[in-house]
Amino acid sequence: MLTKFLYMGLLLLLIIGAGVCEDQAAVAENATASMDNVTEGMNVTSNMTAEAAPLSLQYIWSLSLSSGEQITMALNQSGSELFGSAKYEGAEPWNGVVVGTVNNNSVSLVLTALKGKSLVPIVLKGSCSEDTITGAYSVYSPTGVVESGKFTAMWINPDTSVYTPAVITEAAPPAPAAQTNVTEAAETTKTTQPAQLSTRKFFDVTEKKEEIFSSPASIIPPAMGMSALS
């Protein structure tokens, strides 16, 4: 009888132990599945973060327009926002500012150039690939588009702090008109009239002395006439 009870007690312990083992196995399996889910979630989050991070365009770029202009552009970046400066150092140099955005590999920029006393906006839209940006541009005026074409930009320096603006030489003011001294001008233009020479011929009486003294009438001055004798 005692032996029977012992066998029954041992069987009961085995049954209870088997149940406990199954529960522990289930708990371990659930914990493993949970860890797998967490790991998978972390991987998904990491991939999403990598995809969401915008491409870095913070460089100094050499921008070539199909019109022939060669522009240097320094872009800084905050997230997807782009901002910076630009310059042209050709025959008529100018400086400008740039703002824009980058979304995946799409780039939109507005470059506003100060040409003389006029602000000229240039809109650039394209896509970036490795170290280049390519696309189309349009130059605007208050009345609309005045020029359009293709552009290509290549980064030439990763350090935007070394960028320097173009040197603009101010036009020299016109020289004041020379003051003319009226007195000196009058003296310069004044012509000296030559003294008028007498055209009357000197009469030498010695040449006509015989005629003059041949008769009394000849010695009478012509102005007195014959009335002087009467």
Same domain for 93 and 37: no
Same domain for 102 and 66: yes
Range of the domain at 33: 1-53
Same domain for 43 and 82: no
The answer to whether 109 and 128 are in contact (CB under 8 A) is no
pLDDT of residue 142: 86
- pTM value is 0.56
Separation of alpha carbons 97 and 39, rounded Å: 46
Same domain for 145 and 98: yes
The answer to whether 226 and 215 are in contact (CB under 8 A) is no
Same domain for 153 and 94: yes
Same domain for 140 and 112: yes
pLDDT of residue 44: 46
Total count of domains within the chain: 2
Indicate whether 144 pLDDT > 70. Answer: yes
Report if residue 127 sits inside a domain.
Answer: yes
Report if residue 187 sits inside a domain.
Answer: no
pLDDT of residue 196: 55
Residues 6 or more apart in contact with residue 98 via CB below 8 angstroms: 73, 75, 82, 83, 84, 85, 86, 109, 110, 111, 112
Collapsing DSSP states into helix, strand and coil, what is residue 166? coil
Indicate whether 84 pLDDT > 80. Answer: yes
Separation of alpha carbons 141 and 219, rounded Å: 106
Residue with tokens 């000197």: 202
Percent of the chain with pLDDT over 90: 46
Residues 6 or more apart in contact with residue 125 via CB below 8 angstroms: 106, 107, 108, 109, 135, 136, 137
Phi, psi dihedral angles at 188 (to 5 degrees): -70, -40
pLDDT digit string, tens, across residues 35-73: 566 456 555 455 554 456 789 999 999 999 999 999 999
Please say which residue of 99, 128, 159 terminates a domain.
Answer: 159
Same domain for 138 and 66: yes
pLDDT digit string, tens, across residues 120-142: 999 999 999 889 999 999 999 98
- Going by C-alpha positions, the residue among 105, 83, 150 that lies closest to residue 74 is 83
